[in-house]
Amino acid sequence: MFDNIDLSMVNWSRGQFALTAMYHWIFVPLTLGLSFILAFMESWYVKTGDERWKRITKFWMTLFGVNFAIGVATGIILEFEFGTNWSNYSWFVGDIFGAPLAIEGIMAFFIESTFIAVMFFGWNKVSKKFHLVSTWLVAIGANLSALWILVANAWMQNPVGTQFNPEKARNEMSNFWDVILSPVASTKFIHTITSGFVLASIFVIGVSAWFLLKKRELFMARRSILVASIFGLLSSLVLILTGDTSARQISKIQPMKFAAIEGLYTGKEQAGLVVVGILSPERGDTAGIGNNDFVFRIEIPKILSYMASGSFDAFVPGINDMLYGNSERGIIPAQEKIERGRVARETLAAFKKAKDTEDTAAYNLLKNKFYDTEFKEDYFRYFGYGFLNDINGLVPNVPLTFYSFHIMVGLGFYFVLFFILFLVLLFRNKIENRRFMLRLAVFTIPLAYIATMTGWVVAEVGRQPWTIQDLLPVMAATSHIDATSVQVTFWLFAALFTALFIAEVQIMFKQIRLGPKEGRK
């Protein structure tokens, strides 16, 4: 299978997309959250007229500006890489995927780019209220753009509202509302933006803690911690709730990913949730592995079953159930899915042949199959499996997915505690004396980045080998290019992004050390 596809090119393309996405995601979550924190602070300034709040707002706005530009720069690459490196994907689902990208541009980017100019340059030129509205619109615009790209991403994980058109060999949108109002999309959107809010809150608290450690800008630091702790706590609670909902959705639509995040090879009832665990290094061949999947683990009984379906007794399928099938539970073996996928593919090939030979009867018969509910449910939904040979190719990288998930969840709960502690210390007026806590806050900043990055690793590595769940594997989504070209651009991007990242961090550090411009000596 894929005899004429250069697999090293596919992997370099994968690497390039992952590299761009990871660099992009270093900057975006801070933009998402900090934009709202700026809006809260400026609102308080406009309400009270207290110039100190304006000074605070402008300080964080400077950091926002430095971070924003590089997020924009890396974002444009992602948009175009869908075409440059994943041209087959762009055609196969472009009818659905392109729309959210275009709407993102029209609805969100223009709001952002227009009002960001007013936000930066309008302090002395527009009224206080108009400036405040602009700051809010920047926050809304930034988060709206996240909405559309996350709708698109959610659709890749859960393709709904679509109909395959055999004439054009592509999936076409059949219901726009199914695409944008998909529960997976709304959960993904809220979960992702709240992760940005949490990261930005931790960033603000960490930087403010540094000022307190240096005994500088005490008013700004205390007030910033107050705003960020409240915003962060509320966001982290929503983050956990949507994380729970997301887990339930994944267990239904991407059961292989769900099994991978828990390292569950053999399905069971009353499945426990691994809180901490070390996976067995002997794994590799998925066959026959049952109870020896872990070297060590601490487990909460029955919780995984509850996470999956809301019942402590429910059956949670493991990786082996999905590979080899489980007739008792009505799970089809992967090999059968591959056969069904091949039937769908061969039906498409026969349709094309009938069209070329002008065999009208066969043409109509075969065409109608792609619109027939039974054929769609029994065969076409496994179209992507038809590209695969080996059922083991259906298992994502379990250790990477498992550890990423547990790091993300562990840190998520730590952040809730972190925000509560800072709020308590703030209200007891003891924050400046707790130097350990202040240092902890500074060192929590990188942890927030690790948490949000691992979240994306779970989402994207965990769904491999699929570009579009069950419909298009990564190997079939590629462009017709050579590995050398992609290798060269990969290293060019890596060098450029790293250089810009170093510059950004250096500038940020310097701006923080300098503090607010007004009153600077």
Partner 1 sequence: MSYTVLQHYWWAIISILGSVLAFLMFVQGGQTLIYTLGKTEDERTIIVNSLGRKWEFTFTTLVTFGGAFFASFPLFYSTSFGGAYWVWLAILFCFIIQAISYEFRSKPNNVFGHKTYEVFLFINGALGTFLIGTAIGTFFNGSQFSVNFANISNTGNPVISRWEVHSRGLEAALNIHNLSLGITVFFLARILGLLYFMNNIENEPVLVRARKQLLSNFIPFLAVFLFFVAWLLLKHGYGYHPETKVVSLVKYKYLHNFIEMPLVGLLFLAGTLLVLYGIIKSLLASYTKGIWFSGIGTVLVVFSLFAVAGYNHTAYYPSDFDLQSSLTIENSSSSRYTLTIMSYVSLLVPFVIAYIFYAWKSINDKKINLDEIKEESHVY
Residues 396-455, interacting with partner 1 (CB under 8 A): none
- Nearest distance from C-beta of residue 237 to partner 1, angstroms: 34
Q: Which CB sits closer to partner 1, 270 or 485?
A: 485
What x-and-dash track marks residues 456-485 binding partner 1 by CB under 8 A? --------------------x-xxxxx--x
Q: Which CB sits closer to partner 1, 50 or 79?
A: 79
- Nearest distance from C-beta of residue 113 to partner 1, angstroms: 4
Q: Which CB sits closer to partner 1, 64 or 419?
A: 64
Q: Which CB sits closer to partner 1, 424 or 514?
A: 514
Stretch of 321-329, 341-349, 431-439, 449-457 contacting partner 1, by CB under 8 A: 341-349
Q: Which CB sits closer to partner 1, 69 or 300?
A: 69
- Nearest distance from C-beta of residue 330 to partner 1, angstroms: 29
Instruction: Tell me how far apart the alpha carbons of residues 484 and 458 are, in angstroms, rounded to a whole number.
Output: 29
Contact 457, 260 (CB under 8 A): no
- Nearest distance from C-beta of residue 179 to partner 1, angstroms: 9
Cα dihedral 196, 199, 204, 207 sign: negative
Residue 266, both tokens = 């053999």
Strand 294-300 versus strand 273-279 pairing type: antiparallel
Q: Which CB sits closer to partner 1, 91 or 375?
A: 91
Binding residue (CB under 8 A) for partner 1 from 282, 364, 492, 498: 492
Angle at 299 between CA 297 and CA 303, to 5 degrees: 150
Residue 513, both tokens = 């050390």
Residues 104-123, interacting with partner 1 (CB under 8 A): 104-107, 109-118, 120-123
Q: Which CB sits closer to partner 1, 84 or 245?
A: 84
- Nearest distance from C-beta of residue 376 to partner 1, angstroms: 17
- Nearest distance from C-beta of residue 513 to partner 1, angstroms: 9
Binding residue (CB under 8 A) for partner 1 from 46, 142, 348, 438: 348
Q: Is 174 helix (H, G, I), strand (E, B) or coil?
A: coil
Residue type, 383: F
Q: Is the bond preceding residue 465 a cis peptide, omega within 30 degrees?
A: yes
Residues 123-152, interacting with partner 1 (CB under 8 A): 123-126, 130, 134
Q: Does 182 bind partner 1 (CB under 8 A)?
A: no
Residue type, 438: L
Buried b (16+ CB within 10 A) or exposed e, 6-36: beebbebbbebbebbbebbbbbbbbbbbbbb
Residue 48's Cα: distance from chain center in Å?
38
Instruction: Tell me how far apart the alpha carbons of residues 186 and 367 are, in angstroms, rounded to a whole number.
Output: 34
Nearest to 408, CA basis, from 223, 239, 237: 239
Instruction: Tell me how far apart the alpha carbons of residues 53 and 39 are, in angstroms, rounded to a whole number.
Output: 11
- Nearest distance from C-beta of residue 73 to partner 1, angstroms: 4
Nearest to 216, CA basis, from 513, 518, 517, 435: 513
- Nearest distance from C-beta of residue 215 to partner 1, angstroms: 23
Q: How many residues bind partner 1 (CB under 8 A)?
A: 102
Residues 162-181, interacting with partner 1 (CB under 8 A): 165, 167-170, 172-174, 176
Q: Which CB sits closer to partner 1, 430 or 480?
A: 480
Residues 43-102, interacting with partner 1 (CB under 8 A): 58, 61-62, 65-66, 68-70, 72-77, 79-80, 82-88, 90-92, 94-99, 101-102
Residue 236's Cα: distance from chain center in Å?
16
Angle at 481 between CA 475 and CA 484, to 5 degrees: 105
Instruction: Tell me how far apart the alpha carbons of residues 443 and 210 are, in angstroms, rounded to a whole number.
Output: 10
- Nearest distance from C-beta of residue 443 to partner 1, angstroms: 22
Q: Which CB sits closer to partner 1, 230 or 481?
A: 481
Q: Which CB sits closer to partner 1, 166 or 318?
A: 166
- Nearest distance from C-beta of residue 178 to partner 1, angstroms: 12
Stretch of 39-47, 184-192, 372-380, 493-501 contacting partner 1, by CB under 8 A: 493-501
- Nearest distance from C-beta of residue 204 to partner 1, angstroms: 19
Compute φ and ψ for 466, nearest 5 degrees.
Answer: -90, 135
Residues 356-395, interacting with partner 1 (CB under 8 A): 386-387
Residue 171, both tokens = 């999936």
> What phi-psi label fits residue 302: left (phi over 0), alpha (psi between -120 and 50 degrees) or beta?
left
Residue 44, both tokens = 């308080």
Instruction: Tell me how far apart the alpha carbons of residues 151 and 470 are, in angstroms, rounded to a whole number.
Output: 18
- Nearest distance from C-beta of residue 50 to partner 1, angstroms: 18
Instruction: Tell me how far apart the alpha carbons of residues 227 and 192 are, in angstroms, rounded to a whole number.
Output: 20
Q: Which CB sits closer to partner 1, 347 or 464?
A: 347
- Nearest distance from C-beta of residue 148 to partner 1, angstroms: 9
Residue 106's Cα: distance from chain center in Å?
22
Instruction: Tell me how far apart the alpha carbons of residues 256 and 420 are, in angstroms, rounded to a whole number.
Output: 36
